[in-house]
Chain A
Amino acid sequence: MHNPLDHIINKIYHVEILPPKQESTKLLADLDVFKEKYMRVMESGYCACITDNAMGLMAFQGHEIIEEMKLPVHSDQVMIHLNTFHTKADLDNILLSCKNLGIESLLIITGDGSDRLPKLQPKDIDESEVESVTSVELLRYIHRAYPDTFVLGVAFNPYEPPNHEFAKLSRKIEAGASFIITQPIIEQNPQVDRLLAEYPDIPVTVEAWMSKKLSLLSDAIGYKISEDTQFDPIATLKMLHQVYPQCGVYLSLVGFKTQYDLIKGLWI
């Protein structure tokens, strides 16, 4: 299996790609767009990170798109997000497909639900002592059911109350997480600094917000950002490389038409 540290050593960006939504009325066109983005990421040598029903909005799964469109998989160039809003049967189907496709990296998150998304139940994964399945129980299950198959990462939210977030992270690491990806940061962040100091041996990737619309970040960080806030994603990305040279970078909401080519050569 690949070492998540290699992404940092080899300066491999994580590039988020959103799969087509279930409600899409132009599915074939959306699949073509997905394919184009995916192939560009592959050709760049970066890692394509495919979300799992982000924000509780139903979308197709990364593994099924890769299978259906016969997209190439290089084990260190694909990461699938996996949350707790699946039936046990669907969860196992996703994990088995990932294994068969050679997808090793999974970002395990609790995730956002919706009325239409089923929630994994504790009894489904033999976790009867908890009331609800979180990323911790999901990590434990994957390690138990698929030993030595996946490289599992977890999320870290520097905007949550620190003691609570670090306690949660400690449980995630104990459950077998071997890399960490933060929520988007736009400047040096004291909680990320603490994270790096407390977990020097675990690869940390910071998320860079690549949309000019900084106000969209309001939900993630928990306070309102004014819609007219000026934001330069490329300058911020450069700054993050300078401030956190020991970290990988995860790019969310990258503009593939105008922005993608500009990121080449920024990580020096």
Chain B
Amino acid sequence: MKIVVCIKQVPASNDAKIDPLTKRIIRDTVKSIMNPFDNYALEESVRLREQFGGEVIALTMGPPAAEAILREAIALGVDSGILLSDRAFGGSDTWATSYALAKAIEKIGNVDLVICGKQAIDGDTAQVGPGIAAHLDWQQATYLVEIKRKDERIILTKRLHENGYDICEVTLPAVVTVVKGINTPRVPTLKGRLASLNAEITLWKPEDIDANIEQLGLNGSPTRVVKTEPPAPRTSSTIKIEGTPQQCAKELVRQLRLRSIV
């Protein structure tokens, strides 16, 4: 099975600043990490390869610094990493991003399955996975908590929704997105991390994936962000409850009820 796992570098902290002109996140000043949901996609892709053999390729689009998450992916067990990086990709919305990723997947060739995290924690759109499927005209299944292989060309998926689960048969090639409960991601080993330091990362530019420049970046993005601002920081406070154990317990229950916690 040839699997592509799509991953994204996102700001680590919740104090991200927004550029007032472009309405986009200023990424230079905050620490970056792999999108937490992508850890589950990575783990699932490596588990499928361990079970059925084949190859896992990590794919990301971003600035040169995004290479770091590809190395992290290699440390976690994927076979190779591809970075789409060029000024032409900059400012892409989910449509243009999924177009670029789809073109890269076509270029990789003979891909059976694309796995993405359900969404990135910076944009929170959950659109890129389905967007890739739309551009490739492949089947898709989203919010998966389980992936099983039925036969060479069909996977059985368990899909989470508001009222329970759907069990869906999906014909390969396909794109799936996964949620947190699907597995417990492994922690990188030192051996894996050392191997990743010397791994070669493939860099592709628009011309390498035969992408139409007009469909990339701001020009290729139908989304217009009118206003963006970070959510108000959460406030917290500490209350010290004093008295006898009975008094403390009574006051604790009162405080919890006041906050509608119990």
Of chain B, the residue at the smallest CB distance from A87 is: B184
Is B91 at the interface (CB under 8 A from chain A)? Answer: no
Q: Mark B182-195, 1 if CB is under 8 A from A, else 0.
A: 00111111110110
Q: Flag if A68 contacts B191 (CB, 8 Å).
A: yes
Q: How far is the CB of A208 from chain B (nearest CB, A)?
A: 29
Report chain A residues within 8 Å CB of B36. 115-116
Q: Flag if A90 contacts B187 (CB, 8 Å).
A: yes
Is B26 at the interface (CB under 8 A from chain A)? Answer: no
Q: Flag if A116 contacts B191 (CB, 8 Å).
A: no
Interface footprint category on A: 10 to 19
Report chain B residues within 8 Å CB of A87. 184, 186
Is B197 at the interface (CB under 8 A from chain A)? Answer: yes
Q: Flag if B186 contacts A68 (CB, 8 Å).
A: no
Which residues from 152 to 195 on chain B have a C-beta closer than 8 Å to any C-beta of chain A? Answer: 184-191, 193-194
Is A118 at the interface (CB under 8 A from chain B)? Answer: yes
Q: Flag if B193 contacts A116 (CB, 8 Å).
A: no
Q: Mark B61-92, 1 if CB is under 8 A from A, else 0.
A: 00000000000000000000000000000000
Is A22 at the interface (CB under 8 A from chain B)? Answer: yes
Report chain A residues within 8 Å CB of B186. 87, 90
Is B39 at the interface (CB under 8 A from chain A)? Answer: yes
Chain A: interface secondary structure? loop
Is A65 at the interface (CB under 8 A from chain B)? Answer: yes
Complex Cα spacing A21 to B145, Å:
30
Q: How far is the CB of A241 from chain B (nearest CB, A)?
A: 36
Report chain B residues within 8 Å CB of A202. none
Complex Cα spacing A232 to B194, Å:
39
Binds B, one of A7-15, A56-64, A98-106, A178-186: A56-64
Q: Mark A29-73, 1 if CB is under 8 A from B, else 0.
A: 000000000000000000000000000001011001100100000
Of chain B, the residue at the smallest CB distance from A90 is: B187
Q: Which 8 pairs show the lowest CB-CB distances between chains A and B? A: A64-B190, A60-B190, A118-B184, A68-B190, A87-B184, A64-B189, A65-B190, A22-B188
15 sampled A-B residue pairs with Cβ under 8 A: A22-B188, A27-B193, A28-B197, A60-B189, A60-B190, A60-B193, A64-B189, A64-B191, A65-B190, A68-B190, A68-B194, A87-B184, A90-B187, A116-B187, A118-B185
State the B residues within 8 Å of A (CB): 36, 39, 184-191, 193-194, 197
Given contacts A22-B187, A64-B190, A118-B184, list 17 more A-B pairs with CB under 8 A: A22-B188, A22-B193, A27-B193, A27-B197, A28-B197, A58-B187, A60-B189, A60-B190, A60-B193, A64-B189, A64-B191, A65-B190, A68-B191, A90-B187, A115-B36, A116-B187, A118-B185
